[in-house]
Chain A
């Protein structure tokens, strides 16, 4: 009997805290959202399951969790803490991204720049609340709406916030269709939402090949801190556009990115152990993340309106919201809202331009913050 009691004390039932239970329920909600509502299932499902895995309590002498040296999860989590996984995801993103719309209408790139205001204004907000500059930068980058970038910067500047920032970033990416529309409606008139944009011109093969090389050189020379993310993004794109490395591009955009997404999602989820995750700090990070996202959306929309004051071919300001780099969700939101006003107005391709520019913009912002604040 004594033997049984001793064993029972090592089980999850005995060691479970209310916090662990709460996190397991949140994990189940994530899985539910992924399966039932189809909200970012590729991310929310691994993260949700990881949350459950990470909150099964175990005795201290058994290395099982992501924070226990020598555990399997700890070895996989190494790719997150050392910032290895995010550039690999960027390689896959590059290999699946078509920059044609951006190349055909280069002025739309500026919308991707404007949306990065969310990152920097949230940084100020986080500093106001008492976070250190490193922590504030990691929180602000959530507004870039780019999970890998947020993880990369947080791993470099404030690794103790990794779980909260990653969960906030991915949750808000999944909630793009919920967060963005109110801001877009609030800042645009019906007349503006009805604006039809000129069809894009055809982009030559040579332009597509030259673009990743030139854009990489410009970005990396101005902000070397963005080299790992931007370098992998444009390398992946060159693999795709060169047409001579189709096999490599195919691997990067399918098997490689899928494997990394599984490992990253699962371990980031598992890093949300109740003892480290359920804190006042996490709640503040979630609140600031939402604000950051809303500001980024507003920044893109308002900048499109400002641009319209000076240009002949008007831009539908809805596509400014796609300046946050949640690809392609925010572009899809612009398309849906645009079609609610005019079912024959197709904004998706136009919105993809600021969308992919936002990916580059947020990586540049992350590189700048890393260069500036690294200790």
Chain B
């Protein structure tokens, strides 16, 4: 057990162990790393816009071929309309 160890305790121990420096450098490092990641993420859409001009994503390939990209809501609406029509005609 190292409580009240050779280094002592209280502020003396904090200063001996560079506690304040570790805290400041540690927090700066965490902020720095995550800020860099944050900046890269923020700039990624702009970068990808340029990339997409030359290498478009698959969905856009479909669009070029004349296949219309549809949303899930549109699909559900179409299925509902078809079902309604079917029910009406069977009645």
Residues of B within 8 Å of A165, CB to CB, are none
SS class of chain B's interface: helix, strand, loop or mixed?
A: helix
CB distance from B17 to the nearest CB of A (A): 4
Q: Contacts A131-B2, A368-B26 hold; do A109 and B17 have CB atoms under 8 A apart?
A: no
Residue A364, interface by CB 8 Å: yes
Residues of A within 8 Å of B25, CB to CB, are 368
Is there contact, CB below 8 Å, between B26 and A120? Answer: yes
Is there contact, CB below 8 Å, between A205 and B3? Answer: no
Q: Contacts A116-B30, A222-B32 hold; do A130 and B3 have CB atoms under 8 A apart?
A: yes
Residues of B within 8 Å of A131, CB to CB, are 2-3, 5
Is there contact, CB below 8 Å, between B27 and A130? Answer: no
Is there contact, CB below 8 Å, between A106 and B29? Answer: no
Is there contact, CB below 8 Å, between A120 and B9? Answer: no
Total A-B residue contacts, Cβ distance less than 8 Å: 137
Q: Which of B1-34 contact A (CB under 8 A)?
A: 1-5, 7-11, 13-14, 17-20, 22-23, 25-27, 29-34
Complex Cα distance, B20 from A133, in Å, reads: 12
Residues of B within 8 Å of A59, CB to CB, are none
Is there contact, CB below 8 Å, between B26 and A119? Answer: yes
Complex Cα distance, B4 from A127, in Å, reads: 10
Which of the candidate stretches A82-90, A208-216, A263-271 sits at the interface with the other chain?
A208-216
Q: Contacts A136-B17, A215-B37, A218-B40 hold; do A205 and B5 have CB atoms under 8 A apart?
A: no
Count class of interface residues, chain A: 35 or more
Q: Contact mask A115-141 → B, CB, 8 Å, 1/0? A: 011011101100111111101100000
Complex Cα distance, B4 from A284, in Å, reads: 12
The answer, among B1, B29, B30, B57, for a CB contact under 8 Å with A206, is: B57
Residue A163, interface by CB 8 Å: no
Is there contact, CB below 8 Å, between A130 and B7? Answer: yes
Q: Contacts A127-B14, A132-B2 hold; do A110 and B34 have CB atoms under 8 A apart?
A: yes
Residue B66, interface by CB 8 Å: no
Residue A251, interface by CB 8 Å: no
CB distance from B47 to the nearest CB of A (A): 9
Residue B35, interface by CB 8 Å: yes
Is there contact, CB below 8 Å, between A365 and B26? Answer: yes
Binding site for A on B (CB under 8 A): 1-5, 7-11, 13-14, 17-20, 22-23, 25-27, 29-42, 44-45, 48, 51, 57
Q: List 28 A-B contacts (CB under 8 A).
A: A102-B41, A103-B41, A103-B44, A109-B38, A110-B34, A113-B27, A113-B30, A113-B33, A117-B27, A119-B26, A120-B26, A120-B27, A128-B9, A128-B13, A128-B14, A132-B7, A135-B2, A204-B48, A206-B48, A206-B51, A207-B41, A214-B44, A218-B36, A218-B40, A279-B1, A284-B3, A361-B30, A365-B29
